[in-house]
Amino acid sequence: MTSNYGAEQIQVLEGLDPVRKRPGMYIGTTGPKGLHHLVYEVVDNSIDEALAGHCDHIEIDINANGSVTVTDNGRGIPTDIHPTTGKSALETVLTVLHAGGKFGGDSGYKVSGGLHGVGVSVVNALSEWVEVTVWRDKKVHTQRFERGIPIGELQSKPSKETHTGTRVTFLPDTQIFTGGIEFDYSTLSGRLRELAYLNAGVRITFTDNRQDEPHQEVYFYEGGIREYVEYMCREKEALHKDIIYVSGERNGVQIEVALQWCIDAYSDNLLGFANNIRTIDGGTHLEGLKAVLTRTFNNLARKRNKIKENESNLSGENIREGLTGVISVKVPEPEFEGQTKTKLGNTEVRGLVDSMVGEKLNEFLEFNLPIGDSILEKAIQAFKAAEAARRARDLVRRKSVLESSPLPGKLADCSSRDPRESEIYLVEGDSAGGCFHGDIKVALADGRNISFKDLVAEQEAGKQHFGYTIRQDGTIGIEKIINARVTKKNAEVIKVTLDNGETLICTPDHLFMLRDGSYKPAALLTSDDSLMPLYRKYSDINEPKITIDGYEMVWNPRSDSWLFTHLLSDWYNRWQGVYKAEDGEHCHHVDFNKLNNNPTNLQRLSAKDHLALHRIQINQTLHRPDVVEKCRQIHQTEEFRTRMSQRMQEPQTKEILSQQAKAQWVNQEYKEYMVSKWREFYDSNETYRQENNQRLNVSQQLYWSNENNREKQAEKVHQYFVDHPEVRQQFSNFAKQQWQNESLLDWRREKTKEQWTPEFRAKRKAALSQTYYNKTITALKKVEIEHGCIDLEAYQTYRLQTKDKSLLKFDTFCTRYFEGNVSKAKEAITNYNHRIVSIKYLDDTYDVYDIEVPHTHNFALASGIFVHNSAKQGRDRRFQAILPLRGKILNIEKTDDAKIYKNNEVQSLITALGLGIKGEEFDSSQLRYHRIVIMTDADVDGSHIRTLLLTFFYRYQRALVDQGYIYIACPPLYKLERGKNHYYCYSERELQQKIAEFPANANYTIQRFKGLGEMMPEQLWDTTMNPETRTMKQVQIEDAAKAEELFTILMGDRVAPRREFIETHGARLNLTDLDI
């Protein structure tokens, strides 16, 4: 080996200019991963010196100012003049891309993992500044660079020190790394520890100087990869005490292998490295190792009579079950597939590994037969388990062939068939994937009760539907019904019986609306739960204040009173901008069917136009022979005449007459005459003038008490100030001047005190009144259910027993809330809610259906209750699929393959994703989605489910994780509202930071999202699923050994290591940063 290393060994290939323009081409990303990559590039240069035999100590320091210093005791970067550039070799290395000692020449680098030249020049280009110190030739050489440009010439001074080495200090450029330049200690420590394992005898000292007390760790492993395997297996039960280790060199390729089988592991964990670079996609070195292990142990099995002559060989998967191993190769001229260096491509390496490891492994096993026998026994057990798993697997495959679709029925798939643009969300619970039996009926605004099956058929034919819904303020309303569909085939269902005798068949998880507006899964409902009711009736003119007969009315649960359905649809049309109230005071049913209250069947007409239309169409309405005869008979009765006399005295009738009188004012002569007469009266009557002024004051108070009127005026004022900023500034200056006046401040203090007296008491009284009402009517309803009627004596006894002062006497209840009308009070009690009588799980399975209801996301069933609609509208069906998983999936860390394939949820997961069989070579072309997103609730159960899924992917098909297909959704934890503005916060820290930005006396509300079901679909889309606005975490393995350790400790079946881990690290848990 030559030690010549001077300027003539530095090869110049191209310039440095493109690096700052396109940093992603050189470091992959300008995010955290690219930031840490800068450190690795500089450290790799020092490691290369170690590989060449010139360095045994490397120091890495994170400095207090955020910069990083890497120091080694290698030969030092050459400093003499480079013959091509005419500059020092050090400046050439730092400023010219692809200038380094490993691009040919006789520099002494036999193998190299770092980019030496490319790496350090890229670091220079992407740093705000770099300072380099070289100890070489009994001199100290220093030079500073700023954003890749040298600041001055290389400075050299004599030194008494005889040691050599290089120190590079750099501060990443915030113009490049706009997301921040803070280095993560654990990320760096994982890679540095890995390098120390891979390079036996090299001491790496890592120090973090950013805290008051510097934190330092030293990584030094004389055993190299043997200690690496020991570290990964320390929480497992080893099958053999000594780690199998082979090493050697063939054709200039250095090969090291360390192997350890464990009893309590059911999958293999083989890590491959080429020139210190982790090859997560494998390569020829891993292929050679797997091949030689399979051949060697099958030969041993036959030699030891573990396998009969007529029996087939053990598979490589059987032999590797429970194996943890590391293979590290050092190749002089490595060929990596892709710029990321994740797969070794040198074809000759496979044969070299196969031959060298085969020879030395056979030699080891000859002298350690008990170890070989124990490994074979475990492999044979794995073979038997694999046969059981194959039978279970074949059963699953046969079953899917017999079914109409091989995909799981609860999968809500996307329309795209391009895996590159498709993504699947794995969510909790089946409620997102199923609802009601197809024969269950939905209550519609057009007067019909129609089944889910018929809804699907009619919507496919283009028909629109509208149903009843509970709005956010608790009032009943009308909303569109869309996307009726089958949500799941052959679903497990329950039969729910209501107190009105109606029965429902639905999935156990479907959400029923309670009387307070919250939701509860069907299977968890009890007879004590108060359900939100739907009551309907036809209007009767014999009832007080009812002037139209035979129109549908619905019960409003907020006011506990009846409303006309067509008024709800009229409100919907005005809200949607179909027409305005000014378009006419009458609501007309377009098809002349007064029971069809679809918003599309209503239009606003003036009274004149409405009557004219009915005159034209009178043969369809009033002039039908049966109607004429019925009217004649009614008009002749004494009851009718008495009723008409009473009606003339009613306020509503007086209003109609008033409207008719107002029509006279269209005549200009009449108007002028009446004005003159009114003026004479007004001027001559002092009492009237006072009463008129009082009436005007009351009218304007009523007008401004309407929130819509206030909002319209506020918008006008806001727009005025936007158009006239100078006026706004004048008011601002005036206000500031006013608040300097001490007398004004005293006056304001007194006014504040006054505001807290009557107004506060009034609001408090209203709140208490609502509490009294809710508690009293709930108790009265309970009495009605228990006694079969509203037994007032039983209610009074209940009041006295509970000693609850918020339960009002029945007389007080009637007087305060129903104007003393006992009939109205009892009607409100009867219509207050529905309840569950019984729930029964059915043995049969059924296809289930659901619909979507925009904005409110609930609808009424014909049986008289409200339920939640499907939760799938928060996605884009073109490229986003949903797979609901029931409960917590199997923990495959401590499960054999046979149980895996018998588990329904795991089957669904495997089939939906197109994963194939465990242990088979991963084929990305079979993967149906290139983004697999775990989306669970922000609670303990959600975190557990997420961990189980990560365990499944890591153990079942680790290539999914290694190749970046797994993501974790990041829904917000809080919604912070202040005025008309709202903010989503993703952690407790972010919430407190946002609140700190508000004024000290600011009013705001905080909503905590514990479950995704608490979010409206629009919220879920905007915050979590919209590619334009969402945040997702891509799951990556930065430290393979640490990942293996954590999965083993936390998900394995050994309690003691898990307990020790929790006791050791639990105190360091920062609750503020938790996302659960």
How far apart, in whole angstroms, are the C-alpha atoms of residue 132 and residue 974?
A: 47
Q: What is the pLDDT of residue 403?
A: 40
Q: Who wins on pLDDT, 748 or 102? A: 748
Nearest to 790 by CA among 761, 756, 829, 817: 829
Q: What is the pLDDT of residue 476?
A: 96
Mean pLDDT on 898-922? 72
How far apart, in whole angstroms, are the C-alpha atoms of residue 425 and residue 417?
A: 16
Q: Who wins on pLDDT, 990 or 854? A: 990
Tell me what percent of the residues of the chain surpass a pLDDT of 70. Answer: 84
Mean pLDDT on 396-401? 42
Q: What is the DSSP string of 837-891?
A: EEEEEEEEEEEEEEEE-TTT-EEEBTTSBEEE--S-TTS-TTTEEEEEE-SSPP-
Does residue 698 carry a pLDDT above 50? yes
Cβ contacts of 614 within 8 Å, gap of 6 or more: 621, 622
Helix (H, G, I), strand (E, B) or coil at 772: helix
pLDDT by residue (tens digit) across 323-373?
999 999 999 888 887 545 678 999 999 999 999 999 999 999 999 999 999
pLDDT band for position 1 (50/70/90)?
very low
Does residue 1034 carry a pLDDT above 50? yes
Distances (CA, A) of 1045 to 243, 1052, 1060: 17, 10, 13
Mean pLDDT on 53-72? 95
Tell me what percent of the residues of the chain surpass a pLDDT of 90. Answer: 30
Mean pLDDT on 513-522? 88
Least confident of 414-423, 436-445, 602-611, 741-750: 741-750
Cβ contacts of 51 within 8 Å, gap of 6 or more: 109, 110, 111, 112, 113, 199, 276, 330
Does residue 892 carry a pLDDT above 60? yes
Does residue 405 carry a pLDDT above 60? no
Does residue 767 carry a pLDDT above 70? no
How far apart, in whole angstroms, are the C-alpha atoms of residue 187 and residue 207?
A: 13
Q: What is the DSSP string of 674-714?
A: HHHHHHHHHHH-HHHHHHHHHHHHHHHHHHHTSHHHHHHHH
Environment class of residue 636 by beta-carbon count within 10 Å: exposed (0-12), middle (13-18) or buried (19+)?
A: exposed
Nearest to 77 by CA among 92, 90, 95, 94: 90
Q: Tally the C-alpha atoms within 13 A of residue 989's C-alpha that lie toward its C-beta.
A: 6
pLDDT by residue (tens digit) across 453-496?
999 999 999 999 999 999 988 999 999 998 888 877 788 899 99
pLDDT by residue (tens digit) across 530-555?
899 999 999 988 888 888 888 999 99
> What integer best gives the mean pLDDT of the chain?
82
Cβ contacts of 777 within 8 Å, gap of 6 or more: 560, 813, 828, 829, 832
Does residue 404 carry a pLDDT above 50? no
Q: What is the pLDDT of residue 459?
A: 92
Sign of the torsion angle spanned by Cα atoms 459, 464, 468, 469: positive
Nearest to 46 by CA among 75, 22, 20: 75
Query: What are 869's two structure tokens?
Result: 């609609």
Highest mean pLDDT among 367-376, 749-758, 816-825, 870-879: 367-376
How far apart, in whole angstroms, are the C-alpha atoms of residue 102 and residue 93?
A: 12
Q: What is the pLDDT of residue 396?
A: 46
Write the single-letter amino acid at 684.
S
Q: What is the pLDDT of residue 70?
A: 97
Please state, as a whole number, how many other Cβ atoms lie within 10 Å of the Cβ of residue 248. Answer: 15
Mean pLDDT on 997-1009? 85
Looking only at the bridges linking them, the beta strands covering 323-330 and 269-274 are parallel
Q: What is the pLDDT of residue 113?
A: 55
pLDDT by residue (tens digit) across 284-298?
999 999 999 999 999
Mean pLDDT on 74-91? 88
Does residue 108 carry a pLDDT above 60? no
Exposure letters 109-146 (e unless 16+ CB within 10 A, then b) = bbbbbbbbbbbbbbbbbbbbbbbbbbbbeeebbebebe
Cβ contacts of 231 within 8 Å, gap of 6 or more: 197, 1041, 1045
Q: What is the pLDDT of residue 676?
A: 83
Q: What is the pLDDT of residue 588?
A: 87
Distances (CA, A) of 1037 to 32, 302, 561: 14, 39, 61
Distances (CA, A) of 45 to 50, 62, 77, 362, 790: 9, 18, 10, 37, 88
Q: What is the pLDDT of residue 766?
A: 60
Q: What is the pLDDT of residue 618?
A: 62
pLDDT by residue (tens digit) across 1047-1066?
666 666 666 666 666 666 55
Mean pLDDT on 744-759? 66
Q: What is the pLDDT of residue 219?
A: 95
Q: What is the pLDDT of residue 622?
A: 60
96 in Cβ contact with 121 (< 8 Å): yes
Helix (H) or strand (E) holding 498: strand 476-498
Mean pLDDT on 200-204? 94
pLDDT by residue (tens digit) across 575-587?
988 988 888 888 8
pLDDT by residue (tens digit) across 380-390?
888 887 776 66
The tokens 């598979």 sit on which residue? 315
Cβ contacts of 251 within 8 Å, gap of 6 or more: 348, 352
Sign of the torsion angle spanned by Cα atoms 813, 818, 821, 826: negative
Does residue 105 carry a pLDDT above 50? no
Helix (H, G, I), strand (E, B) or coil at 1027: coil
pLDDT by residue (tens digit) across 911-958?
888 876 665 566 777 889 999 999 887 767 777 888 888 888 887 778
Q: What is the pLDDT of residue 433?
A: 44
391 in Cβ contact with 991 (< 8 Å): no
